[in-house]
Amino acid sequence: MENVEAKQPDFYNYLVENYKRICYNISEAKAKFRSDNDEVKLMGVTKTVAPEIVNASVDLGINLLGENRVQEFLSKKDLYSKNADVHIIGHLQTNKVKYIINEVSMIQSVDSLKLAGEINKLALKNNLVMDVLCEVNIGDEASKSGVSTLLLDELLEQMSGMEGLRLRGLMTIPPVGCGEAVFDKMHGIYLERKSKYGECFDTLSMGMSGDYELAVKHGSTLVRLGTALYGARKYINTEEK
């Protein structure tokens, strides 16, 4: 922490101010629309962010990290703080699962039976149970990953029967500017499935830098923030595209 601050005082102060603002905004949204007992986790999305900056944010208390790219994660993971808890949140190819099965605590982007089956196979091979979220394409956007709402229940049923998976909930990326109705719809979908799959089904990963307050209002339990936390690209490592 002290070394980072000494080398990059402007960035460190910037990071602290961003973190304070985000925490305040989440608290305000919870106070207006949620129960005091509701937990909303803050995840730092670390795509292209240098390890020393990631570790500075971990020191501030943001120990939950979201990685989009397997190759980038593998190149940085040994430099991360031991206090970091890493999830895969980006589109995951089945042939990359073997590289991260023992390196992360959750895979949030499971969107097909093929991927779920591969995770299950490798989890059992490695004597573990992997926490997973099913990614939902709530806006039915062709450019985004995720299972459609029409096929969601079939995939969830198949995943719930896999011994190497622990089905923890749903993840989604609502369309930009979609409005509150989409967030409310996604929350309803989550609650309906939670009533079926029980107490372990406890995570709705919804909300990014541009809409996290709206996501908190509509029941998100985990928001994934990159730009709002780490800021403009002048502050981050751009060597890996």
pLDDT digits (tens), the chain, 241 positions: 344 443 455 788 999 999 999 999 999 999 999 998 899 999 999 999 999 999 999 999 999 999 999 999 999 999 999 999 999 999 999 999 999 999 999 999 999 999 999 999 999 999 999 999 999 999 999 889 999 999 999 999 999 999 999 999 999 999 998 989 999 999 999 999 999 999 999 999 999 999 999 999 999 999 999 999 998 654 444 333 3
237 found inside a domain:
no
Tell me what pLDDT residue 190 has. 98
CATH number where 154 lies? 3.20.20.10
Could you list the residue range(s) of the whole structural domain that residue 181 is in? 2-231
239 found inside a domain:
no
Closest CA to 182 of 122, 124, 190, 43: 190
Closest CA to 165 of 189, 206, 197, 204: 197
d(C-alpha 174, C-alpha 209), whole Å: 12
Structural domains in the chain (count) = 1
> Please, which residues have CB within 8 angstroms of residue 94's CB and are 6 or more apart in sequence?
114, 115, 118
> Please, which residues have CB within 8 angstroms of residue 194's CB and are 6 or more apart in sequence?
169, 201, 202
Contact assessment for residue 191 and residue 206, using Cβ atoms and an 8 Å cutoff: no
Torsion angle of the four alpha carbons 82, 85, 90, 96, in this order, in degrees rounded to the nearest 10: 60
DSSP state of 96: G
220 found inside a domain:
yes
- Relative orientation angle of helices 152-160 and 180-197, to the nearest 10 degrees: 30
> Please, which residues have CB within 8 angstroms of residue 175's CB and are 6 or more apart in sequence?
138, 139, 141, 182
Binning the chain into helix, strand and coil, the percentages to the nearest 5 are 45, 15, 35
Q: For 162, phi and psi rounded to 5 degrees?
A: -90, 125
Tell me what pLDDT residue 8 has. 55
Tell me what pLDDT residue 52 has. 94
Closest CA to 124 of 156, 96, 91, 98: 98
Tell me what pLDDT residue 210 has. 95
138 found inside a domain:
yes
d(C-alpha 113, C-alpha 91), whole Å: 14
Tell me what pLDDT residue 1 has. 37
> Please, which residues have CB within 8 angstroms of residue 148's CB and are 6 or more apart in sequence?
136, 137, 140
d(C-alpha 145, C-alpha 137), whole Å: 6
110 found inside a domain:
yes
DSSP state of 99: H
67 found inside a domain:
yes
241 found inside a domain:
no
Radius of gyration of the chain (CA): 18
Tell me what pLDDT residue 233 has. 56
149 found inside a domain:
yes
Report the b/e string of 52-75 with b at 16+ CB within 10 A: ebbbbbbbbebbbbbbbbbebbee
CA-based torsion, 152, 149, 133, 47: positive or negative: positive
